Amino acid sequence: MPEGKELYMLQLRRMMLIRRFDETVQTMVQSAELVGMAHVYIGEEAVAVGACTALRDDDYITGNHRSHGHPISKGGDVRRAMAELLGKATGYCKGKGGSMHLADFDIGILGESGILASALPVAVGAALGSKMQNNDRVVVSFFGDGASNQGACHEAMNLASVWKLPVIFLCENNQYAVTTSYRDTVAVENIADRAVAYDMPGVLVDGQDVMAVYEATVQAVQRARDGGGPTLLEARTYRYEDHSEGLNRILREPYRTEEEVARWKERDPIKLHSAWLIEQEVATQEEIEAVRNDVRQAIEDALEFARQSPYPEPEDLFTDLYSDPLPAR
């Protein structure tokens, strides 16, 4: 597990990687190079990075449709992620998953579901697998404010608590389910307050502060590894962009004010972390710029790799349908 400067610079690098990756995705959608659905994570980077840098490589995560940030935070390869977005055979899912389902099982990513709250019960099952095989792995399940209202979310939390399973339910409260404010759909003041109903700690954390998310996750992970059971973390954050790329073409009325967006952008997670690194004399401006340049190069390389990669072959329509191939029907 990295510590000190190594940890802080890793967090900076991964947040920058996600930002640059998703900015590139935006231009690819605008130029129609990327034609499928794409949900960017810009503005929320501190949540996934703070949480995943508190995990071991063999710990599990599950995610949702906004799935670029989670694998990159866990140490995924941006080349294979970009290739997946372009539907190439070299992608994480051999081109079968796309933007909403970027998963690298080799680093503990159990997949992202585009059905909201669908992955929470799966995360509970992985935690059961961990407990019964005594392998000490914990699971972080990322979900949003919208998914927090799903029945599966509550079933998963109750089950994890009665079985005292090593799960961290991490709610990325970016405040809008597409265009509907959580204030209009969540009965309690804070989503973290719902933890009371499941007899687990509920912790509200500043989702723009990578160290705050990191420290809250470290505590939850410790509790989980010690057999204390699950924790509900609510990271209050903000989605700078619309729910999905291209949505602005059909949205007629603004659903949030420009002032609100601007106010949240002032607390940008990369800016805040960079300022903290300088203030604490962990890194110089030059070192931060070097990371930025390095990241820019890495994303350019990833795009080049993705563009040069082949598409799957027609017969791949049927590969991986079952673990043993069956005749096509």
Partner 1 sequence: MVQAQAVRQLSYIQAVNEAIRQEMERDETVIVMGEDIAGGGDREDKQDAWGGPMRLTKGLVGDFGRQRIRDTPISEAGFVGAGVGAAASGLRPVVDLMYVSFFGVCADQITNNAAKIHYMFGGKVNIPLTIMTGIGAGTGSAAQHSETLYSIFTHFPGLKCVVPSDPYTAKGLMIAAIRDNDPVIVFNNRQLMGIRFDVDVPEEAYEVEIGKSNIAKEGTDVTLVGIGYTTKVCLDAAAELEAQGHSAEVLDLLSLSPMDDEAILESVQKTRKIVIVDEDYPRCSIASDISALVAEQAFDYLDAPPRRVNPPHAPVPYSRPLEALWVPNKDTVVEAALGVLE
CB-nearer residue toward partner 1: 96 or 267: 96
Is the CB of residue 111 less than 8 Å from the CB of residue 147? no
Question: Which three-class secondary structure state does DSSP give residue 247?
Answer: helix
CB-nearer residue toward partner 1: 162 or 275: 162
- Which helix (H) or strand (E) element contains residue 142? strand 139-144
CB-nearer residue toward partner 1: 13 or 80: 80
Residue 126 makes contact with partner 1 by CB under 8 A: yes
Site string for partner 1, 41-60 (x = CB under 8 A): -------------------x
Measured distance CA(240)–CA(238) in Å, rounded:
6
Q: How many Cβ atoms from other residues are within 10 Å of residue 37's Cβ?
A: 14
Site string for partner 1, 150-189 (x = CB under 8 A): -xx--xx-xx--xx--------------------------
210-225 and 4-30 helices cross at what angle (nearest 10)? 110
Supply the minimum distance, in Å, between the C-beta of residue 275 and partner 1.
Answer: 38
Supply the minimum distance, in Å, between the C-beta of residue 104 and partner 1.
Answer: 8
The number of residues making up the chain comes to 329
Supply the minimum distance, in Å, between the C-beta of residue 119 and partner 1.
Answer: 8
Residue 229 makes contact with partner 1 by CB under 8 A: no
Measured distance CA(329)–CA(324) in Å, rounded:
15
Measured distance CA(139)–CA(147) in Å, rounded:
18
Per DSSP, 317 falls in state G
Q: How many Cβ atoms from other residues are within 10 Å of residue 252's Cβ?
A: 4
Site string for partner 1, 58-97 (x = CB under 8 A): --x-x----------------------------xxxxxxx
Q: What angle do CA 222, 226, 229 make, to 5 degrees?
A: 85
Of positions 82, 110, 192, 221, contacts partner 1 by CB under 8 A: 110
Tokens of 282: 């962990």
Supply the minimum distance, in Å, between the C-beta of residue 142 and partner 1.
Answer: 14
Is the CB of residue 272 less than 8 Å from the CB of residue 51? no
CB-nearer residue toward partner 1: 118 or 237: 118
Place of tokens 């991964």: 14
Tokens of 113: 């579901």
Supply the minimum distance, in Å, between the C-beta of residue 327 and partner 1.
Answer: 8
Q: Is 287 exposed, middle or buried (0-12, 13-18, 19+ CB in 10 A)?
A: middle
Of positions 103, 147, 191, 291, contacts partner 1 by CB under 8 A: 103
Of positions 27, 36, 57, 105, contacts partner 1 by CB under 8 A: 105
CB-nearer residue toward partner 1: 33 or 155: 155
Residue 225 makes contact with partner 1 by CB under 8 A: no
How many of the chain's residues bind partner 1 (CB under 8 A)? Answer: 51
Residue 140 makes contact with partner 1 by CB under 8 A: no
- Which helix (H) or strand (E) element contains residue 61? strand 60-64
Site residues, partner 1 (CB under 8 A): 60, 62, 91-97, 101, 103-106, 110-111, 113, 115, 118-130, 132-133, 137, 151-152, 155-156, 158-159, 162-163, 319-324, 326-327, 329
